[in-house]
Structure 1
């Protein structure tokens, strides 16, 4: 018979009696943390820090993400921060590219190193006979001498290990080193291929020790909570975070979702009334809001799971009343909105008004029509 520890029994009793938060309550709490319930006067840099980074698989999403969240935002605000090396683009959470503040870049990247090590094991066959410590040292010398594209890095490493898999060599360098994308990549209105150097070289200061997971748990909950251990592990791409939550339990509030899963939260974070109005928001593809929980029911209504993706294509999303309600795109001189359900007249007016605002902020001086496409039918 398996024995249960006193702490586990106590936690189980606490969960069983904790208040239940239904999806609408979780929705409003998360929108408030994400600055999507009401726009914030925060600066772009402070917002990137508060949100613990912005998903940035493509160049433009961080700009649209901030436009949806901030009052008075202009794309030049984030572009200037990037040009001044106050924020950077680097692979961190979930093995994906994020825009982080310089401080977070130098601490969060060491925190997620275990995930980068696991990623590297998938390429071990292609790295047979490769000394990974030597590879990391050589790659560092190469990219700190001058920023390199992945192709250039791959070719230089292949000269040292001609029998290795070229792709695996370049990925090994990315896993072992904190490689940032140098500008002009990432600047608004400019283009540039991906060229890499180390975070330490680009920022002019050494990496710092990885923060204790406990500190990052508190930051995650402040930006994404109330949330479960699985939710945070999904967001971070890490495992074994339960111990950090248990250490913090005396400082946290606990709730349950409608399925009984335990949710944690920081006491002073906002938890608005579920009936608080939430105006429409135009979000970019890969927005943090839709990628940072194991259970996305707080944003994605039943029946709409996966509706903003087709294969590897991820679409820009529309929120109505705080929930996923459609997708949108810029098509020549039109903002095209494709709802997943019929919108009321009042909702259409609010969506159009928000669309006009987004276009003015992001495409000042350009002229766009706003048109609604037909309702996108459910997938079979």
Structure 2
């Protein structure tokens, strides 16, 4: 079995994630190649595409959302993702067990909850048009007064195929968004049959080479090893002796391929798709990135590895991007970060009169 060095795994990952060089594709194709993008907050996929595509404007993604080519919905791990409409329809049923298992989180609040009845009632409500979850909970509470209102809302979110209705805002969605039935918005119902084998291939296309446990971490689906074993996949060994699987003929660049500095948004896919994340972030830096309140901070990459954090803010007419490095930064690397950072802050705050990049404590 061929052995892949840590740097070889890193370069293969960056290549799949469009981070070795910016891709000359549109946002829909990019979202498809990435097998979706974490969309916990609406701005993050915009930043993630800006850093990955050679020609990208926020209006490009907004237009794709409005054209119903991409949707924002609960999917992998039961969290909000931006995915192509085709992938949502293809994989929603495959991931239904993950979403339904989320009901266990309700614990005592699920007392009296009858999911089938709630799902039927919620569908009937939403057939009349998009609703916010406050409106959904209030309406369901009238029908099920003895059941916790949060349990009613969560059951609806997890068990009814819903997408978020876009709004006329810069990042495509408002804070208190409305939800609509997926089949109404897309004109088709999700595929009836689960296709976990297809999902494994799509995962490896976007994140490989990887282990079945990595796939489970990304998707939330258990029992991945059995699915991997049914597929014709290449096998490698990493530097720790683990078996990594990959699709045949997938790009695995030379480990010495140069890597540009790149800025990643909060909750970027790259940091959430693996059981262990040493391919892109040293264990020593993880506590600074993954917070106790379950946020994943915005980071930047140097030589393919997370090397620091970044934040951006606008005060009056000045937009500032602040770098917080985890260690010493070489002069040439700092110059590259400042060039890329200024381009990013101009993208984020185009109306500011002044754009600057500063280093915390420096």
TM-score (normalizing by structure 1): 0.89
Contact 1:148 1:195 in 2 (8 A): yes
Q: Say whether residues 1:357 and 2:346 are aligned partners.
A: no
In structure 2, the CA distance between the partners of 1:93 and 1:268, relative to structure 1 (3 Å rule), is same
Shift of 1:371: 0.7
1:327 aligns with 2:315: no
The 2-side partners of 1:186 and 1:55 are apart by: 19
Q: Contact 2:8–2:255 (CA<8 Å) still a contact in 1?
A: yes
1:331-350 to 2 correspondences below 5 Å: 331-332=313-314, 333-350=319-336
Q: What is the CA distance between 1:275 and its match in structure 2?
A: 1.2
**Contact 2:92/2:191 (8 A) holds in 1:** no
Taking the aligned partners of 1:227 and 1:374, their CA distance within structure 2 comes to: 38
Change over 3 Å in CA distance of 1:345–1:219 after alignment to 2:
same
1:296 is the counterpart of 2:277: yes
Instruction: State which drifts further: 20-29 or 42-51.
Output: 20-29
Runs of 4 or more above 6 Å deviation: none
C-alpha change, 1:237 and 1:368, in structure 2 (3 Å) is same
CA-CA distance at 1:160 after TM superposition: 1.4
Three-state SS of the structure 2 residue aligned to 1:172 is helix
CA distance in 2, matches of 1:194, 1:119: 21
CA distance in 1, matches of 2:5, 2:182: 42
The secondary structure found in structure 2 opposite 1:368 is: strand
Partner of 1:203: 186
For residues 166 and 153 of structure 1, what CA distance do their matches in structure 2 show?
Answer: 9
Q: Distance in 1 between matches of 2:148 and 2:348?
A: 42
Cα offset, 1:364, TM superposition: 3.4
Deviations 1:260-299 (A, max 9, x none): 1110011221111111111100110000000001110000
Q: Distance in 1 between matches of 2:193 and 2:78?
A: 17
1:157 is aligned to 2:140: yes
Residues 183, 192 of structure 1: 8 Å contact kept: no
How many residue pairs get aligned? The number is 356
What residue in structure 2 maps to residue 287 of structure 1?
A: 268
| Alignment check: 8 A CA contact 1:75 1:362 kept | no
Q: Rate the CA distance shift 1:95–1:185 in 2: closer, same or farther, 3 A.
A: farther
8 A Cα contact 2:235 2:245, kept in partner: yes
The question of whether the paired residues in 2 share the 8 Å contact of 1:185 and 1:192 is answered with: no
**Match status 1:264 vs 2:253:** no
Shift of 1:189: 7.1
> Could you say what secondary structure the match of 2:72 adopts?
strand
Question: What is the deviation of 1:192?
Answer: 4.7
Is this contact kept in 2: 1:34–1:51, CA < 8 A?
yes
Is 1:23–1:298's contact at 8 Å kept on the other side of the alignment? Answer: yes
For residue 247 of structure 1, report the CA deviation from its aligned partner.
0.8
- The answer on 1:371 being equivalent to 2:358 is yes
**TM-score scaled to structure 2, two decimals?**
0.94
CA-based RMSD:
1.7
Task: Give the SS at the match of 2:124.
Answer: helix
Listed as ranges, the matches of 1:1-380 within 5 Å are 18-123=1-106, 125-184=108-167, 187-188=170-171, 191-248=174-231, 251-312=232-293, 313-332=295-314, 333-366=319-352, 367-374=354-361
Q: Which segments of 5 or more consecutive residues in structure 2 lack a partner in the other structure?
A: none
